[in-house]
Amino acid sequence: MLAYSIRRVVQSIVVLLVVGLVAFSMFRFVGDPIDNMLGQERTDADIERLRGELGLDRPFVVQYGRFLTNAATGNLGVSYRQGRPVASILMERAPATLELAAVSGLFAIVLGVALGVFTAIRRNGIAANLIMTISLVGVSLPTFLIGILLIYLFAVELGWLPSFGRGDTVKLGGWSTGFLTSSGLKALILPSITLGLYQMTLIMRLVRSEMLEVLRAEYIRFARARGLRERAINFHHALKNTLVPVITVTGLQLGSIIAFAIITETVFQWPGVGLLFINAIQFVDIPVMAAYLMLISVMFVGINLIVDLLYFAIDPRLRVDRTVTEG
């Protein structure tokens, strides 16, 4: 267990170093940083001075090391387009994305597990079959089309919900939240459904197939024979045992939610990190792109690591197996 954990942590660090190298190379080789920072009226002396200040005359490895230490201490450079430190722009935008991701994650888990259990128990019912068919169509729809469809229905035709933006936000320290105003909450609904729908169907299908598997098991038949109520069997015995794969898949999907937020944020003009990233690509704002890359890889690698370690903690059988096979 300990050896495995250490190996996983080392692997994660290596991945992060590689991503850091990619981000650094973007800075260093895509466009000339000096060109980007100095205006048209520059002298050779200016160029030399800046080259020295930025450390561009040092060996590659030294530059890379400095880049990493800077990044670790929160110095992510200055946006070419906005002329402000990237770190503070990210801090400003992060709450919007995190709130959106949290709500859609919650939506996906709650509805996904509920519908999964429902479709497994009423496996031959009309409603269950209908849900399965709709979910199949839902999976093949591209995210942005789902968003447009929802906007058309609920914002254009019915006029119930706003089609863009976050509504009114309240500042709590450095965190601007949309949870405390009614317009903020309303604005969250459509984007979170758009973002969470794919994950919801995924979780639903997973819970359903796991449930079907478990419901065929001996101990469920035994529980029935003992005369336990259906409800107790379904939720106490069956659902509990389906949760291990569900937790791992859900954990891994959290990362995807943050990545796919890019699409949802663009459709709904949601002022989050994803929209920032898309604008950065459009205007070739390298520091913002590099910072986003590093931020999201830390999240991804962190989530993967936690899920892997959690897997061990949840399922005792794995621990025994691994120690035996790995000696």
Partner 1 sequence: MERIGRAWNSDFVWSFRHSPVAVVSLALVLVLVLSAVFAPLIAPYDPFDPASLNLMNGFSKPMEPNTFTGDVFWLGTDDQGRDVFSTILYGMRISLFVGFTAVLFALILGVSLGLIAGYVGGWTETAIMRVADVQLTFPAILVAMLIFGIAKGITPVHMRDEMAIWVLIIAIGLSDWVQFARVVRGATLVEKNKEYVQAAKLIGRKPGAIMLRHILPNVLSPVLVIATISLALAIIAEATLSFLGVGAPPTQPSLGTLICIGQGYLFSGEWWIILYPSITLLALALSVNLLGDWLRDTLNPKLR
Residues that bind partner 1 (CB under 8 A): 15, 18-19, 26, 30-31, 140-145, 148, 151-152, 156, 163, 255-256, 259-260, 262-263, 266-267, 277-278, 280-282, 284, 286, 289, 293, 296-297, 300-301, 304
Backbone angles phi, psi at 171, to 5 degrees: -85, 125
Interatomic CA distance for residues 266 and 189, integer angstroms: 15
Shortest separation between residue 251's beta carbon and partner 1, angstroms: 13
Shortest separation between residue 281's beta carbon and partner 1, angstroms: 4
Residue with smaller CB distance to partner 1, 161 or 228: 161
Residue with smaller CB distance to partner 1, 56 or 228: 56
Q: Is 224 exposed, middle or buried (0-12, 13-18, 19+ CB in 10 A)?
A: middle
DSSP 139: H
On whether the CB atoms of residues 107 and 193 are closer than 8 A, the answer is: yes
Contacts of 82 (CB under 8 A, 6+ apart): 89, 285
Shortest separation between residue 223's beta carbon and partner 1, angstroms: 31
Residue with tokens 């029935």: 224
DSSP 133: H
Residue with smaller CB distance to partner 1, 29 or 175: 29
Interatomic CA distance for residues 169 and 152, integer angstroms: 25
Residue with tokens 């968003």: 147
Residue with smaller CB distance to partner 1, 238 or 289: 289
Q: Which two tokens stand for residue 22?
A: 């990619």
Shortest separation between residue 137's beta carbon and partner 1, angstroms: 8
Shortest separation between residue 299's beta carbon and partner 1, angstroms: 11
Shortest separation between residue 300's beta carbon and partner 1, angstroms: 6
Residue with smaller CB distance to partner 1, 152 or 160: 152
Residue with smaller CB distance to partner 1, 68 or 228: 68
Query: CB neighbours (10 Å) of residue 327?
Result: 6
Element (H, E) at 18: helix 2-29
